[in-house]
Amino acid sequence: MKKNKLATILMLAGLFTNLTIMGQSKITKKNEGEDSSAQVHYRKVIANGQNIFYREAGAAGAPTILLLHGYPTSSHMFRELIPMLSGKYRVLAPDLPGFGYSDAPDREKFKYTFDNLTKTMQSFVDKLGLKRFAIYVFDYGAPTGFRLALANPEKITGIISQNGNAYVEGLSNGWNPMQKYWEHDTKENRDALRTFVTAEQTRFQYFTGVEDTTMIAPESYTLDQHFLNRPESAEIQLDLLNDYKTNVALYPKFQEYFRTYKPKFLAVWGNRDPFFLPAGAEAYKRDMPDAIVKFYNTGHFALETHVKEIGNEILNFLTALPQ
């Protein structure tokens, strides 16, 4: 009897050990999978003749979201959002030409217009073979992304606009000096905008409207200013500021796209943005009544202070998108 009891005890102990090892193995594999999807890769691809730097995370076969940054930043602005999204989605965040770690070709060789930025992003989309994807647009990324949507309506599964404007009522008085330049392209009006690329102005964009400025990571505006201080960068940015008038001229076309295709749409907006007013966010519902509009008590760079809230809102939104 004692031998049988001992055998039974040993058998049960062995079974428990095996189950424990199997459980640990599953947990390890799960964690390895999570680590793999969260890993960000830093790559480059030739698009429209330029070396375009981009960040990529998530499984290659997962639904794709394309993150388009604005002025004066780069894909670096998405550094905390990418890991939040990459567990379920393939995330791609390129640097536009003239920004971040992408090429900043000479103005004589590359025309700095929003049409040409879009042409480069179209080449990026084609090179990576993207057939269906959602877009997150911010600031300059909005007119670039909306141009992509106009050219590829069949590819767009949904749109997230974070302080990315498409309505005249969304433009604040901060645009008055730029509008003066649009109306009269003179050296005097161009030179008046040179303060726009200074460190003081970059800090203004990051800090204005922020309740707790200790949440603004110093590497954000410092890195942006590093690239703004490159030779010819001021002229590149002034060229783009001048060409921004073409975006406003296209607002009716963007709005027609919204009314025609009714894309799934989420606006996540820093309501204290000194350049893009909350009215611009609300206006999306005029053309897309089902659009979701969320406001956060912060400024232009809302991800710096509200990345968790915005990231969770995006994750909820993405679950309802067509694949």
- Give the residue numbers marked as catalytic: 300
SS3 68: strand
Instruction: Say how far apart CA 12 and CA 19 lie, in whole Å.
Output: 10
* C-alpha of 130 from chain center: 17
Cα-Cα-Cα-Cα dihedral of 80, 58, 71, 279, to 10°? -80
Contacts of 74 (CB under 8 A, 6+ apart): 95, 96, 99, 100, 101, 102, 223, 224, 227
Contacting residues for 90 by C-beta, under 8 A, at least 6 apart: 56, 57, 58, 59, 60, 61, 62, 63, 64, 65
Helix axes 114-127, 141-151, angle to 10 degrees: 60
Q: How many CB atoms sit inside 10 A of residue 168's CB?
A: 13
CB 317 within 8 A of CB 264: yes
**What's the Cα-to-Cα distance from 301 to each of 125, 204, 213, 215, rounded to whole Å?**
25, 11, 12, 11
Dist CA 97 CA 229 (whole Å): 15
- The residue type found at 149 is A
The answer to whether 96 and 102 are in contact (CB under 8 A) is: yes
207 DSSP 8-state letter: H
